[in-house]
Amino acid sequence: MRKIVLWICLLVTSVLYAQETSLSVKLSQGHPRYLTDSNGKVETQKLIKEEPWAQEVFEKLKQRTDRYADRGSEWLTSRLQMYWKTHATEVYIKGEYYDHAGGEKAPAPTVMYTGARSHATNYVRPKLEDLKPYQEDARGMYLANGTLEGRPHEWVNISKTGNIIQSINVEILGIARDAAFLWWMTGEKKYADLAASVFDTYMTGIYYRNVPKDLNHGHQQTLVGMSSFEVIHEDAVNALVPLYDFLYNYLKTDKADKMDIYAGAFKKWADNIIDNGVPHNNWNLMQARYIMSIGMILESDASYPDKKGGEYYIDYVLNRSSIRQWSLKQLADYGYDAETGIWAECPGYSQVVVGDYTDMVTVFDRNLGMDLTEEIPVIKKAVAADPQYLFPDCMTMGFGDTHPGKLNPAIFARMVANAQKHGKKDQERQFTAMLKLFDPDASKPATEKKNVRVAVTSFFSDKPLVIDDKIPAGDINDYVTPTFYAPNASWLVQRNGMDKRHSLMIAQNASEGNHMHANGISMELYGKGYRLAPDGGIGLTLYSGLDYLEYYSQFPAHNTVCVDGISSYPVMKSNHAFNLLNCYPEAG
């Protein structure tokens, strides 16, 4: 009954948000328009000519792509994991595992579905060079068994292969994306042929294949994607969107009769992400990123008979809320504490969310000319509050589904970029100081940047930021407080400084929010440079393994009270907070 009432409340809230005044959307014209625009080629050519790091990235990108482009377009396409023979239109799963494929035979090969929700498998993912062309076999995949001496090859049911199929396809699509960029930059036809062959085969295969069906008729049916068991891991979209955008003018001429199929495949993908997933946690943002990306490269609503084009999907992210997909503002209002800037999940997932929101800030700045931080001010507060998760060793605490780690300096860099674009000097000073503190290399001039990632995005969204040399690095003590309390995560911190060797600290949390464990009142201690009572974290295979279900998520894995050895309550989305009666000094 409680769950039914909760969903009714969420539905009513969604309807109310849907009635709010909408933010207007104006799509750019022409292609590319996602990572850059029509002026981007000249700017990128200049960047490559003038900046050593850009020249190095471009040359390595060419060398990596030429390995496949010089073999002819079909070599790479034939290694895609597809239903080459059966052209299956239906995929059937049983809960979190692949079962079989079938249905009517499609007019073209369709995309093979991956093996399981979890990545865990005993089998080794083969290199592309080790794959046979146009491989589809009723016995499954022929793989090396990584658990046996000598790693012998054997036929393996697809349900036992984890995410190997998806991983292979994403790698191939990534190579095709790079080829599309190189065609746009150089005009060399071999790159266009490679990119178009892979793109056409894969997208046609998505168009003719349906959303998987769960034979167990369970919760998994509400999570499943077109290429992944979770709509938040549709990684193929990340490669396909820029691929299509850079290659658009070539496809428009060479594949004119297929443009409706490509658009239909993208829209099928976005519609399924809207229909499935989880609205009230980090899932929603990851779903929104895919929907937004697809919306960016579709044509205007008026271009399609169903009136579902770029504006429709971008508007869904900005303004509309449904059962499984909330607007960005509704999600922020639900998940963030307006006073503390803390997200209502464990630290690991909170880091993901603040990263995704700041990434959205970049997308809005670049593609829509809108300042998202003005629409959702809590984003700035969330970035500023991120250091509160740190122990004196400057590693994050580990309660809930979290492994300790460092803060992601990209969130500070994105806020600096946002401030520079919109002329916000105070914000630029604030986050430049934080960026220099948590990433000392950030202050180096662009000409000194080393080991820039060999990726298309390195020329656009990931290119080195120009930092104001006059702004000094911040002091860690300016960003943490002696007492910090976040009620929406039921989490209390007390510390007497941030000296790695000499400071003392305690972090206590109950079990309130998402991705939390059953723990009573868990406690982590720090002193003399050590975590004296570290939390157990997630476990080996995250929350899919028995180690998580039976140990890591339960009372015995935490520094807490366990009554008669049997204390427990439901984990993941938990509602078991403690009451903070008093603390000294006061939080703030």
> According to the model, what pLDDT value does residue 447 have?
61
Q: φ and ψ at 505, to 5 degrees?
A: -155, 150
DSSP 8-state assignment for residue 456: G
Percent of the chain with pLDDT over 90: 81
pLDDT band at 25 (very low <50, low <70, confident <90, very high): low
Neighbours of 188 (CB within 10 A): 14
pLDDT for res 12: 46
Give strand pairing partners of 505.
Answer: 495, 526
Distance CA 46, CA 208 (A): 42
Predicted local confidence at residue 23, as pLDDT:
56
Tell me the pLDDT tens digit for each residue of 572-581: 899 999 999 9
pLDDT in tens, 445-502: 656 666 788 999 999 877 778 899 999 999 999 999 999 999 999 999 999 999 999 9
What is the mean pLDDT of the segment spanning 237-265? 98
* Secondary structure in 3-state letters for 231-296: HHHCCHHHHHHHHHHHHHHHHHHHCHHHHHHHHHHHHHHHHHHHHCCCCCCHHHHHHHHHHHHHHH
The size of the chain, in residues, is: 588
DSSP 8-state symbol, 367 = I
Q: What residues have CB less than 8 Å from 339, skipping those under 6 apart?
A: none
Instruction: Please provide the average confidence, as pLDDT, over all residues in the chain.
Output: 92
**Cα 382 from Cα 364, distance rounded (Å):** 18
What confidence category does residue 14 fall into, taking pLDDT thresholds of 50, 70 and 90?
Answer: very low
Whether 164 has a pLDDT exceeding 70, the answer reads: yes
Give the residues across from 580 on adjacent strands: none
Distance CA 202, CA 82 (A): 8
Residue ranges per domain, the chain? 81-160, 476-576
- Residue 166 main-chain phi, psi, to 5 deg: -60, -40
Segment 329-349 mean pLDDT: 95
User: Would you state the pLDDT for residue 200?
Assistant: 98
Res 294 pLDDT > 90: yes
pLDDT for 103: 97
Pair of tokens at residue 414:
């994105």
| pLDDT tens digit sequence for 504-544 | 999 999 999 999 999 988 999 999 999 988 888 887 777 77
CA distance 62 to 373: 37
In percent, how much of the chain has pLDDT > 70? Answer: 95
Pairing of strands 483-486, 213-214: unpaired
Mean predicted confidence (pLDDT) in 348-377 = 94
Calculate mean pLDDT across residues 246-255. Answer: 97
Confidence of residue 68 (pLDDT cuts 50, 70, 90): very high
Residue 579, Cβ density class (10 Å: 0-12 exposed, 13-18 middle, ≥19 buried): exposed
Least confident of 16-20, 291-295, 521-525: 16-20
Of residues 352 and 543, the one with the higher pLDDT is: 352
Between CA 335 and CA 443 the distance in angstroms is 33
pLDDT for residue 16: 42
Tokens of 371: 């300042």
Rounded average pLDDT over 4-29: 52
More confident residue, 8 or 168: 168
| Dist. CA 571–CA 588, nearest whole Å | 29
Q: Select the more confidently predicted residue: 534 or 35.
A: 35
Using an 8 Å Cβ cutoff, are 527 and 383 in contact?
no
Instruction: Measure the N-to-C terminal CA separation of the chain; round to a whole number of Å.
Output: 38
Tokens representing 242 are: 């820029």
3-state secondary structure of 459: helix
Mean pLDDT on 160-165: 98
Are 111 and 154 spatial neighbours (Cβ–Cβ below 8 Å)? no
Please give the average per-residue pLDDT across 339-349, as a whole number.
95
Residue 27's pLDDT is: 74
pLDDT at 13: 46
Res. 7: pLDDT tops 90 = no
Distance of CA 347 to the CA centre of its chain: 16
Instruction: Tokens for 40, please give them.
Output: 């981007």
The model's pLDDT over 547-577, given as tens digits with 9 standing for 90+, comes to: 898 899 999 889 888 888 788 888 989 999 9
pLDDT of residue 465: 87
Q: Do residues 380 and 415 lie in contact, with contact meaning Cβ atoms separated by under 8 Å?
A: yes
* Angle of helix 2-18 versus helix 328-335 axis, rounded to 10: 130
pLDDT in tens, 399-412: 999 988 999 999 99
Identify the DSSP state of 365.
Answer: I
